[in-house]
Structure 1
Amino acid sequence: MAAVLAAVVAGYFGLVGLIVTKDAKTSDLRQAWIDALRAELSQAVSHFEAWTWSNYLNGTAQTVARAEAVAKFRTSEASIRLRLNPSKRLNDQAFKVLDEMATMIAAGNADTALAQEKASALVIATQPVLKEAWERVKRGESWFQGVKATSIALVVVGILSVSYLIYRGGETEGSATFVS
């Protein structure tokens, strides 16, 4: 019986080790996703504003600067859209602002004040998305949460059981009868 119990305990802790390792890897990947989204957002904002500021250039320099800024903005925009889940309501505002920015570019509306407003709106719209992702990294995956709760419960039950057995063992030592 003791060998079976030892095998079960060893198997459980092996499973816990596996889940902890998987959770750590998943958290690393989620953190990388957060970092990449932040980088793409900052690039999108930067290139969008550069597009509006290119209005102050003349001739070929303006054409080249605008084309480069638009191409870089479109790359960042596509990356952001691919990272965000369109079926999550939390992302709706970010998609709306990206659409408005793309519409400004398509219409040639390089109003600097409006562009800065849209750039700020994009940052504000994505903050809840980043916060939700960060909270999930801090909290861990649901499997990990379940294993953690079960482990704590098993440790408490184990300590209580050992304490009870020690207490009962000390209680019956003096009252033991020996038969010869």
Structure 2
Amino acid sequence: MDEILLKNATLVIGAIFTAMVAGFFAFMNLVSSKEQKVSEFRQEWIDSLRNSISVYISSLSYLSILYKHRNDEGVDKTSTLLEFTKSVNDVYLKLNESYNDILFRINPSEKNKKTIAVNDDFLKALEETRRLYMTADFFGAVKACDELRHKTKPLLKYEWIRVKTGEPSFRFWKGFSIFILLCGFSLSLFSGYSLYDKVSQVPQKSEQSE
């Protein structure tokens, strides 16, 4: 009788554990799908940011060089200003559009200290290029673009690492799932050993009673 109860208990524990594991992995699948979508959006964000920075640097460099050559040539600014402005209107629009797009994509209220430092360095380099351009220091603006490129690399690299490692919540649940599996496996071994030990003692008790 005791042996039958112990065997049934083993089946019940196994069924409960199986149901728990199945439910847990169903939940993890939902979390993984969500975080995968977030990572895809973040990758698109990185690609768009890289493109906006490239457009901004190329447009700023192009306009700065044109304005510098125009000033060096000493042309009649009054008579040619309107014509010159029309000729570079498309580039100027790209410059402003890309500049504002970059600002909208950088989060100024990040909580992570490393992220804040990377963002601040990048934004300082960005603002320096714009300041030099707006003050007609066109040669300085072109040179400042080199520093902006230098500060862009850590930003893109850091964001790529975030995509590669996953969102914080995903990393948490990933570690938690491994912990649950280890606990479940250990509990299964312990329960199996305990049940086996009790079952093996049943024949001995039966022999002693006889």
Correspondent of 1:18 among 21, 26, 30: 30
Correspondent of 2:125 among 74, 97, 101: 97
Change in CA separation of 1:96 and 1:65 when aligned onto 2, cut-off 3 Å: farther
Q: CA deviation at 1:5?
A: 4.6
For 2:6, the equivalent position in structure 1 comes to none
Q: CA deviation at 1:76?
A: 0.6
For 2:9, the equivalent position in structure 1 comes to none
Aligned equivalents of 2:186, 2:127: Cα separation in 1: 60
Aligned equivalents of 2:90, 2:200: Cα separation in 1: 90
| Higher RCO (Cα < 8 Å, 6 or more apart) | 2
Q: CA deviation at 1:120?
A: 1.4
Correspondent of 1:42 among 51, 54, 66: 54
Root-mean-square deviation over aligned CA pairs: 2.8
Change in CA separation of 1:156 and 1:4 when aligned onto 2, cut-off 3 Å: closer
Correspondent of 2:180 among 146, 151, 154: 154
TM-score scaled to structure 2, two decimals?
Answer: 0.70
Aligned equivalents of 1:25, 1:73: Cα separation in 2: 31
Aligned equivalents of 1:100, 1:141: Cα separation in 2: 32
Q: Is the 8 A contact 1:47 1:72 kept in 2?
A: yes
The runs of 5 or more residues in structure 2 that have no matched partner are: 1-11, 110-115
Between stretches 36-45 and 153-162, larger displacement belongs to 153-162
Q: Is the 8 A contact 1:23 1:140 kept in 2?
A: yes
For 2:4, the equivalent position in structure 1 comes to none
Aligned equivalents of 1:8, 1:169: Cα separation in 2: 20
Between stretches 16-25 and 1-10, larger displacement belongs to 1-10
Deviations 1:62-91 (A, max 9, x none): 433443332211111000011112343432
Q: Is the 8 A contact 1:91 1:126 kept in 2?
A: no
Which structure 2 residues correspond to residues 127-138 of structure 1 after superposition, within 5 A? 127-138=153-164
Percent identity reads 28
Correspondent of 1:81 among 99, 103, 114: 103
Aligned equivalents of 2:132, 2:200: Cα separation in 1: 90
Aligned positions, number: 178
Deviations 1:117-155 (A, max 9, x none): 211111222222222212211221222112111211222
The runs of 5 or more residues in structure 1 that have no matched partner are: none
Q: CA deviation at 1:10?
A: 3.0
- Please identify the structure whose Cα radius of gyration is greater: 2
Aligned equivalents of 1:110, 1:65: Cα separation in 2: 18
Deviations 1:16-36 (A, max 9, x none): 111111110111111111111
Change in CA separation of 1:84 and 1:174 when aligned onto 2, cut-off 3 Å: closer
Aligned equivalents of 1:61, 1:42: Cα separation in 2: 27
